[in-house]
């Protein structure tokens, strides 16, 4: 008998979908967190973790050397890599940050819509563990440990219906929260307050205007939000249309 089979069966177990009202409430709750300035200031750090994680993952995939990640209390962050200062690897790494939260949200929506809540929670734990190994400042380490601890507690102690509600809310938050930083980025660029943003770095690397990259980020995030929202509500759409 394969000793890993029980673990795989646990991770791939399908949980019963929550009622539609809970999915809708979780979506509006996530929208409120993203739209309200005070709650956004507190929760934006979660988007930063996903943002820097996107830079780090693509850097590794493009065979750049990952030197470290820093997360700051003002919700900013930086991912340090080593390799050619130009070329496809550097471009892909720079482009990954702003779309990462939305794409992670889309992946979360896909897993959640299939009832694979446990798999999602443990995948998040695995990614956070890998990220923790590359954190290079105290605040960043505490932030990742706090998020990882919360996810572990949810996966280990919470009943299935609570796990499901939190998973839906998290997917909505990533999908919605992935859009706002892009809008904020363009506002800062227009005011001349972000000369070294990812979009401006890409402009220097590719000679394509930074505004093009901002629009590309926004297009990807908006598409992820639309399709992710569809995945999260698809099973109830026939009932609503009746």
Average pLDDT on 216-221 reads 98
pLDDT, tens digit (0-9, with 9 covering 90-100), for 91-127: 999 999 999 999 999 999 999 999 999 999 999 999 9
Q: What is the pTM of this model?
A: 0.94
Q: DSSP string of 182-240? A: HHHHHHHHHTT--TTSHHHHHHHHHSS-HHHHHHHHHHHHHHHHHHHHHHHHGGGHHHH
Average pLDDT on 151-162 reads 92
**Orientation of helix 160-177 relative to helix 180-190, angle to 10°:** 20
Residue 232 pLDDT > 60: yes
Pairing of strands 77-82, 65-71: antiparallel
Main-chain phi, psi angles of 135, to 5 degrees: -70, 135
Domain count, the chain: 1
Give the pLDDT band of residue 3 (cuts 50, 70, 90): low
Q: Is residue 11 situated within a structural domain? A: no
C-beta atoms surrounding 40 within 10 Å? 18
Provide the percentage of residues in the chain whose pLDDT is more than 70.
Answer: 95
Average pLDDT, the chain: 93
Q: Is residue 71 situated within a structural domain? A: yes
Give the pLDDT band of residue 145 (cuts 50, 70, 90): very high
Which structural domain, as residue segments, surrounds residue 128? 19-241
Q: DSSP string of 107-149? A: HHHHHHHTT-HHHHHHHHHHHHHHHHTTB-SHHHHHHHHHHHH
Instruction: Specify the pLDDT at position 239.
Output: 55
Instruction: Specify the pLDDT at position 95.
Output: 98
Q: Is residue 7 situated within a structural domain? A: no
Q: Is residue 176 situated within a structural domain? A: yes
3-state secondary structure of 80: strand
Report the Cα 28 to chain-centroid distance in Å: 18
Provide the percentage of residues in the chain whose pLDDT is more than 90.
Answer: 85
Q: Is residue 10 situated within a structural domain? A: no
Q: Is residue 13 situated within a structural domain? A: no
Q: Is residue 84 situated within a structural domain? A: yes
């Amino acid at each position: 008998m394969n000793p890993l089979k029980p673990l795989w069966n646990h991770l791939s177990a399908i949980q019963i979908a929550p009622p539609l009202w809970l999915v809708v409430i979780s979506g509006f709750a996530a929208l409120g967190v993203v739209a309200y300035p005070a709650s956004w200031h507190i929760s934006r750090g979660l988007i930063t973790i996903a943002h820097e994680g996107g830079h780090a993952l693509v850097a590794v995939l493009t065979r750049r050397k990952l030197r470290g990640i820093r997360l700051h209390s003002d919700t900013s962050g930086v991912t340090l890599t080593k390799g050619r200062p130009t070329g496809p690897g550097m471009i892909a790494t720079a482009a990954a940050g702003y779309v990462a939260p939305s794409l992670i949200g889309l992946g979360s929506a896909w897993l959640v819509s299939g009832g694979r809540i446990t798999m999602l929670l443990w995948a998040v734990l695995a990614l956070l563990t890998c990220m923790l190994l590359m954190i290079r400042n105290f605040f960043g380490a505490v932030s990742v440990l706090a998020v990882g601890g919360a996810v572990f507690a949810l996966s280990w102690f919470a009943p299935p219906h609570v796990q499901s509600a939190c998973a839906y809310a998290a997917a909505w938050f990533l999908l919605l929260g992935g859009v706002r930083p892009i809008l904020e980025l363009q506002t800062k660029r227009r005011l001349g307050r972000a000369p070294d943003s990812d979009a401006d770095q890409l402009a220097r690397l590719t000679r394509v205007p930074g505004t093009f990259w901002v629009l590309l980020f926004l297009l990807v995030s908006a598409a992820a939000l639309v399709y992710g929202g569809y995945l999260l509500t698809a099973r109830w759409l026939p009932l609503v249309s009746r």
